[in-house]
Amino acid sequence: MKALVLEGIGDELRIKEVPDLHQQEGYSIVQIETAALNHRDVWITKGKYPKLQFPLIMGSDGAGYLDGNPVLINPSLNWGENPAVQAKDYRILGMPDQGTYAEAVNIPSRLVHSVPEHLTMEEAAAVPLAGLTAYRALMVKCKPQPGDKVLISGIGGGVALFAFQFALAHECDVYVTSGSDEKIQQSIALGASGGVNYTDAQFPEKLADLCGGFDVIIDSAAGSGFTNLLKNCKPGGRISFYGGTQGNIPELNPQFLFWRQISIFGSTMGTDSEFIEMLQFIKIHKIHPILDSIYPIEEANEAFQRMAEGKQFGKNRP
């Protein structure tokens, strides 16, 4: 079969012939029709994951067919028995396991789910990794209530946009930050109550003036800017972050945290049952993932470049 193969750090992806898959007990071979990019894949190409073994077939997100039926894949492998934290042998599809950038993928049968009827196959492929990550960070960890003021930082990426859509569907009052005025305006057009550009010199003041404080904040950057988010968290507020692209958080004030009774959660991916809950939430609210662009497999490197440059608003498809 054909697959999109990475043969070394910094290399371009190439379409190559690889061995066909063989049926294993407890596994299903899904014929992939469309796959989606995640920042994880871009970081893998840059060597920012340990123990990389080449050649490598990446891809955590995919939708396709099993016995003629449209399905999508839960890429969260071996979560374990404790819903609070993943097991030591937990891993995500696409590294080290062969991923979805191929004509077919071998996946535990329990992780194969029917595509919600209102979704196209392209939309279905966008759901798994980003949808699950956003659902756990927002709905499971922070437990927002209708009417809560929710801030989504760094709007434009897949997880941030799913958190945005989930919060809107849950009848929250949603605000965003971005380094792009265009992305803020796109968010407002989709239902955001407002937004602030974090590259603005007056960002701290404008954030404070936005709505008087937030009940829930979803972040993926951390770093020095986290203090601005923390200062705008209401007493009893909840902050969940699923990434740390800006590095460590300096000068975290414990007095501010305990006096305001603020809770901070770290979150990554989610359990098998949370994936099912997330799919049901999408079905009930008829949520359509936001797609940035769709590329033929021959133009996969262009799709990776677009994501690496941070130009996307939504998910890309190679």
Res. 177: pLDDT tops 60:
yes
Please answer whether residues 299 and 318 qualify as being in contact, where contact means their C-beta atoms are separated by less than 8 angstroms.
Answer: yes
User: Taking the CB of residue 145, how many other CB atoms lie within 10 A of it?
Assistant: 11
Provide the pLDDT confidence category of residue 314 given band limits of 50, 70 and 90: low
Provide the pLDDT confidence category of residue 221 given band limits of 50, 70 and 90: confident
* Mean pLDDT value of segment 211-220: 92
Give the mean pLDDT of the chain.
91
* Mean pLDDT value of segment 239-246: 83
* Mean pLDDT value of segment 152-172: 95
Res. 172: pLDDT tops 90:
yes
Q: Which amino acid is at 85?
A: V
Bridge partners of 294, per DSSP, are: 317
% of the chain at pLDDT higher than 90:
66
Task: Tell me the pLDDT tens digit for each residue of 41-99.
Answer: 988 988 888 888 889 999 999 999 999 999 999 999 999 999 999 999 999 999 889 99
Q: Is 99 exposed, middle or buried (0-12, 13-18, 19+ CB in 10 A)?
A: buried
* Mean pLDDT value of segment 231-239: 93
Q: What's the pLDDT score for residue 256? A: 80
Provide the pLDDT confidence category of residue 309 given band limits of 50, 70 and 90: confident
Contacts of 218 (CB under 8 A, 6+ apart): 134, 137, 138, 142, 150, 151, 152, 153, 160, 163, 239, 240, 241, 242
pTM to 2 decimal places: 0.93
Provide the pLDDT confidence category of residue 304 given band limits of 50, 70 and 90: confident
Distance (Å, whole) CA 288 – CA 147 = 22
Q: Is 230 exposed, middle or buried (0-12, 13-18, 19+ CB in 10 A)?
A: buried
Provide the pLDDT confidence category of residue 201 given band limits of 50, 70 and 90: confident
Q: How far is CA 140 from CA 13, 134, 193, 273, in A?
A: 36, 9, 23, 11
Task: Tell me the pLDDT tens digit for each residue of 16-42.
Answer: 999 999 988 999 999 999 999 998 898
Provide the pLDDT confidence category of residue 317 given band limits of 50, 70 and 90: low
Q: Is 36 exposed, middle or buried (0-12, 13-18, 19+ CB in 10 A)?
A: buried
Q: Which amino acid is at 104?
A: A
110 vs 316 pLDDT, higher one: 110
Torsion angle in degrees (nearest 10) through CA of 187, 189, 194, 200: 60
Domains recognised in the chain with CATH numbers = 2-127+289-317 (3.90.180.10), 132-266 (3.40.50.720)
Q: What's the pLDDT score for residue 204? A: 85
Encoded tokens for 285: 């609210």
